[in-house]
Amino acid sequence: MNSFKYKPYYSYNGPTASDPLREPLSDEDEQRNIQLFYTDVINAFEDDDVLVTKDQDGIITIQTDLPKQECDGRIAQILTSLDLLGRKL
């Protein structure tokens, strides 16, 4: 079984070509989106044989038989939808 770890975070780098009206998130929205990340990860993998855990530092661990590319792709979609970035550990 594979084990993948991710740490979501927020960084405002200004508007982008794909989102020219992008504005910074408030501190409350930033924290809410980071909390939603964990919920969305559980939902994204609910149809698969996956164990998702979160430690006190906010690091998400996913234990699965899915290939790395599949797992990374799902995580990237979730991060993008919440205007977050992620560090793979």
Task: Spell out the domain ranges in the chain.
Answer: 2-88
Lowest-pLDDT choice from 11-20, 22-31, 46-55, 79-88: 11-20
Assessment of whether the complete model's pTM goes beyond 0.95? no
Q: What is the CATH T-level fold of the domain 2-88, as seen in this structure?
A: Alpha-Beta Plaits (3.30.70)
> pLDDT digit string (tens) for 11-44?
998 888 888 898 999 999 999 999 999 999 999 9
Joined together, the tokens standing for residue 5 give: 């770890």
